[in-house]
A = this chain, B = another copy of it.
Amino acid sequence: MSNPSLLILPGDGIGPEVMAEVRRIIDWYGDKRGLTFDVSEDLVGGAAYDKHGTPLHDDTMAKAQEVDAVLLGAVGGPKYDVLDFSVKPERGLLRLRKEMDLYANLRPAQCFDALADFSSLKKDVVAGLDIMIVRELTSGIYFGEPRGIIEEGNERVGINTQRYTESEIDRVARSAFELAMRRGKKVCSMEKANVMESGILWREVVTEVGKEYPEVELSHMYADAGAMQLCRWPKQFDVIVTDNLFGDLLSDAAAMLTGSLGMLPSASLGAPMANGRPKALYEPVHGSAPDIAGQGKANPIACVLSFAMALRYSFDQGAEAERLEKAIETVLADGVRTADLLGEEGATPVSTSGMGDAILAAL
């Protein structure tokens, strides 16, 4: 049997730096654990635009469809702010999500014990926090038609369309319930059914799917109340399922609340391929951080943990994923800190590659 294949898209800003550390860890798995991947690398975002005039070349798109998993760093930067909407770095990422049909975006919001003090929230509110936000990623207002800026009367009008079909809601709800079965058996669904008809349909379909999971406790919350409750007492949640736009805001807020933003990975999963593996893209929750790019200051942990998610969800290597997660916990408990995590007494400051060294040593 051939090795599983990985397409690496480092992207922009700190993407290439953090990805370099992930590659060392991938190599370690080949050398030490007999887990060898066929790794290829390509461009996405601003880097792709600079070379090809498009944030995602068709050849790269085709490769992404063929591999077992894609690992992405980050896209975007001020240099590209002037570009037309259609070729902005973000369009590369959105095209990958849409054409690979990665409908379930898994965003764990976890607070690492060693870092609970970094949260703006009180320690007892976040210590031990471990929730999973499942965000719909291929539909809703991100992709609905009609869209654009049109002339009407004497003025321009900006238009976007929120659009959800029953089957789109059904499949992402299933992902959430399946995850809940392996976790705390609670799902909270968030929408604005009091204001939006798409939210009414969302609530109905999630409720229907929930009947197939009688062991899972299902609740519903308006998204504004959800934002409040995440800020007040996030530990009340286990799995949250929500649409593309609400998921964007709520998962970012949740990530920030943990105090571990530079630490959080994500998985975007689609339907199973012929080999049984889901279409999959893994990426850190943080952005391209252009202000610190190229200085060896970036924290590679979110990207490394994204590879751990790949081990778990694409390659059925749950034990190896845990090995990597444990190694990171050890490194953090030892006080090893990139610049974003400095501030405590007795911490050992390291560069991006220094963090990579420490993780490899702990492995």
Main secondary structure of the interface of A (DSSP, over half): helix
Count this chain's copies in the assembly. 2
CA distance A149 to B147 in the complex (A): 19
Say yes or no: A156-B166 contact (C-beta < 8 A), given A120-B122, A223-B249, A231-B253: yes
Closest to A196 in B: B160
Say yes or no: A233-B120 contact (C-beta < 8 A), given A94-B195, A141-B196, A201-B149: yes
Q: Are B155 and A165 in contact (CB under 8 A)?
A: yes
A297 within 8 A of B: no
| Shortest beta-carbon distance from A80 to chain B in Å | 10
CA distance A173 to B165 in the complex (A): 35
CA distance A299 to B279 in the complex (A): 51
**A33-72 Cβ-contact flags toward B at 8 Å (1 or 0):** 0000000000000000000000000000000000000000
**A322-349 Cβ-contact flags toward B at 8 Å (1 or 0):** 0000000000000000000000000000
A113 within 8 A of B: no
Residues of B within 8 A of A90 (CB): 194-195
A99 within 8 A of B: no
Residues of B within 8 A of A194 (CB): 76, 88, 90
CA distance A155 to B208 in the complex (A): 14
Say yes or no: A198-B163 contact (C-beta < 8 A), given A120-B231, A121-B121, A231-B253: no
Q: Are B225 and A252 in contact (CB under 8 A)?
A: yes
Residues of B within 8 A of A23 (CB): none
CA distance A230 to B202 in the complex (A): 28
**A278-309 Cβ-contact flags toward B at 8 Å (1 or 0):** 00000000000000000000000000000000
Residues of B within 8 A of A225 (CB): 252
Q: Identify which of residues 144-164 in chain A touch chain B, using a CB-to-CB cut-off of 8 Å.
A: 144, 147-149, 152, 155-164
Report which A residues bind B (CB closer than 8 A).
Answer: 76, 85, 88, 90, 94, 120-122, 125, 141-142, 144, 147-149, 152, 155-167, 192, 194-202, 223-225, 227-233, 245-246, 248-250, 252-253, 255-257, 261
Query: Which 10 A-B residue pairs are closest in the complex by CB-CB distance?
Result: A158-B198, A158-B201, A228-B256, A227-B253, A224-B252, A155-B166, A160-B162, A231-B256, A227-B249, A160-B196
